[in-house]
Structure 1
Amino acid sequence: MTQPCPAVSVVLPVWNAAATLPATLESLLAQTGADFEVVAVDDGSTDATPDILAAFAAQDVRIRPARIAHGGIVAALNHGLAPARGRHIARMDADDTCHPQRLALQCAYLDAHPHIGLVGCRVDFGGDRERCGGYARHVDWVNTLLDPTDIALARFRESPFAHPSVMFRAELPGLHGAYLDGPFPEDYELWLRWMDAGVAMAKLPHTLLTWNDPPDRLSRTHPNYAEEGFYSLKGLYLARWLARHNPRHPEVWVVGAGRTSRRRARQLMDQGIAVRAWIDIDPRKIGNRVDGLPVLGREAMPAPGEGFLVAYLAGHGAAEELSEFLDGAGYVQGRDYILAA
């Protein structure tokens, strides 16, 4: 007899995760109020991972293991999407744990909000805040983004979601493409591509996942997560966003005249964006010409509605300070300026 399709399919790529996988699976099997399956794709593990998956599957039919030759996380993710039967897809990684109500709350949210295509949740940082302060601050920032508009505007700074915390409608990969393998983080590329296609994304205010931070995390070790991959990806999609939202397209004013800001702005120029001038607060830079463009103080910025600002400020708290200044002066984020990084 064919079993009815579950509401949620959890896609879980696994590679040599014998030390952490049992806790991950136990946290999934402890879910309350959710009808789900776990499509666990073993990406050619050489440790005890296959035996652990087989043992859990023997005890609970909701665990559906699959094994492929080692091909990396993108291959494993897409292999897991193919047999998934749920109307919603939840992501999970084999070194994280989720709270008992995670799947039920996210599934209920998507069912009640048909205009939302993907929903995340707040996450606990499962790492050493002193040793990994930058990552911890990223988690804190991600947890501030709940509203679809805030998420959409913040996406050019950093990835606005913890990948294993999301749940999305099962039809989205077919409509807008699944995960891609390239010189970029596969999750961030997917969010940018789907949002560019008009998919609205939200986040629950509940903390429903512990996002652990092991030293061998892919974002620390794999070349696809290198810094330049992030920036070239952001430059491409930011240029596309500007073409639709900047009334003065293709002209922008770039806030930040330092070397890093100019390097990021060049990626926009490569996409046909014209930089009118650099805006800075450093008196040593103001009045100079850099890369053929003038460096001006904030007092020379175009008034709200008369020009569009792209801010490249990477210093801790710098973007927040600028946003407070601009909002107080009558500028509106998304209409007069955008924060990037």
Structure 2
Amino acid sequence: MPALAPLISVIMPAYNAATTVCAAVESVLAQTCTDFELIAVDDGSTDHTARLLEAHARRDARIRLLRLPHGGIVPALNAGLEAAQGRFIARMDADDLCLPQRLEMQAGYLQQHSEVGLAGCRVHFGGAPGGYARYVDWINSLLAPEEIALERFRESPFAHPSVMFRAELVTAHGGYADGPFPEDYELWLRWMEAGVRMAKLPQTLLLWSDPPTRLSRTDSRYSTDCFYAMKTAYLARWLAARNPFHPRITVIGAGKTSRRRALPLLDLGMEIAAWIDVDPRKIGNIVHGIPVRGREALPKPGTGFCLAYLAGHGAADELREFLHPAGYVPGRDYLLVS
């Protein structure tokens, strides 16, 4: 254990990652910033992961290996947080690669911006084109704290292994929660609700892999329904605090999926004044006792608040092109939430 606490603690959980973990570790050891510890948490692997990490730890004293019975990523992450000694906490996964300047640039950013609690970075996507690649394009487009905060109810705005945050945030607002939801997204929403500002560096500093075993593909906690069940509670509290017309809202999107995602707000005290849609087959209907109307029925800027539940590719951009010339301001008049 180093005599002095390191500047950065890198927390890397690993489970049956023997084919990738060595490259991940080497990418951390190759950082231009050398003032770090790498806390590798073996989550009860049944392959050679622990043995490989032990060999690395013998060669480099900055590596600290924690061995746990298999319990999943949340206990592994929280064990890493508890062991961490650094001023800053960086996340890393055992199948990703850090670019050499990642730790230096993220720590430097946090040192220069005391108002920011968490700094991510752009990532290079290691998967195939399609839905997940579009998601990566979206998170890479969000840099400033204001846009991250406004867009946070659409999806998780960070690649989890790309972030670095101040260690005191864990003491102030808690670590990872275990439940039927994605642990990283819940953490971002909880911390932002508490007022933590989050930013993203414009540099690409992580190669983010996309294996078929990714938890977001295999774990039921990462299902779309779990995402919406969790984030709807945070959204309802945001609306109660910031919607001047609370509890009244207008929902843009009247399709079955949009309605399924919006209706739980009723159980949290919201009132839906109308569904807004562009499909003439829907306009004029009454659904769940709520009328479906065309865009001409949108409340004028400053006279109501809208939530847009639009799942189609490109639908959010099309809606912005319609709303912004008419004077609608995101966060004041509407939010994109899907």
TM-score in terms of structure 1 length: 0.98
Distance in structure 2 (CA, Å) of the matches to 1:171 and 1:2: 20
1:196 and 2:193 equivalent?
yes
Q: Deviations over 1:206-236 (max 9, x none)?
A: 0000000000111111111112110111211
> Aligned ranges for residues 157-176 of structure 1 at < 5 Å?
157-176=154-173
Q: Deviations over 1:67-92 (max 9, x none)?
A: 01110000000000011010000000
> Aligned ranges for residues 58-137 of structure 1 at < 5 Å?
58-129=58-129, 133-137=130-134
> Aligned ranges for residues 250-289 of structure 1 at < 5 Å?
250-289=247-286
Distance in structure 2 (CA, Å) of the matches to 1:320 and 1:197: 29
Distance in structure 1 (CA, Å) of the matches to 2:60 and 2:326: 59
Helix, strand or coil: the match of 1:230?
helix
1:313 and 2:329 equivalent?
no
Distance in structure 1 (CA, Å) of the matches to 2:34 and 2:253: 48
Q: Deviations over 1:58-114 (max 9, x none)?
A: 111111101011100000000000110100000000000010000000000011111
1:37 and 2:37 equivalent?
yes
Q: Which runs of 5+ in 2 are unaligned?
A: none
The amino acid across from 1:99 in the alignment is: L
Distance in structure 2 (CA, Å) of the matches to 1:47 and 1:300: 60
Q: Which runs of 5+ in 1 are unaligned?
A: none
Distance in structure 2 (CA, Å) of the matches to 1:111 and 1:86: 13
Q: How far off its partner does 1:33 sit? A: 2.7
Q: Against the structure 1 CA distance between its residues 285 and 28, is the aligned structure 2 distance closer, same or farther, given a 3 Å change threshold?
A: same
TM-score in terms of structure 2 length: 0.99
- Within the candidate set 174, 178, 185, 1:177 is matched to 174
Helix, strand or coil: the match of 2:117?
strand
Helix, strand or coil: the match of 2:3?
coil
Helix, strand or coil: the match of 1:52?
helix
Distance in structure 1 (CA, Å) of the matches to 2:92 and 2:57: 17
- Within the candidate set 190, 207, 212, 2:209 is matched to 212
Q: How far off its partner does 1:265 sit? A: 1.1
CA root-mean-square deviation: 0.9
Distance in structure 2 (CA, Å) of the matches to 1:46 and 1:73: 15
2:149 alignment partner in structure 1: 152
Instruction: Provide runs of 4+ in structure 1 moved above 4 Å.
Output: none
8 Å CA contact 1:14, 1:45 repeated in 2: yes
Distance in structure 1 (CA, Å) of the matches to 2:108 and 2:2: 25
Deviates more, 1:262-271 or 1:71-80: 262-271
Q: How far off its partner does 1:115 sit? A: 0.8
8 Å CA contact 1:9, 1:36 repeated in 2: yes
Q: Deviations over 1:144-199 (max 9, x none)?
A: 00010100011111100000000000011111111011000000010011111111
Q: How far off its partner does 1:2 sit? A: 5.5
8 Å CA contact 1:124, 1:207 repeated in 2: yes
1:19 and 2:19 equivalent?
yes
May I ask how many residue pairs the two structures share in their alignment? 338
Q: How far off its partner does 1:34 sit? A: 4.1
Q: Deviations over 1:290-317 (max 9, x none)?
A: 1111111111111000000100000001
The amino acid across from 2:168 in the alignment is: E
Q: Percent identity?
A: 65
1:9 alignment partner in structure 2: 9
Helix, strand or coil: the match of 1:243?
helix
1:55 and 2:55 equivalent?
yes
The amino acid across from 1:32 in the alignment is: T
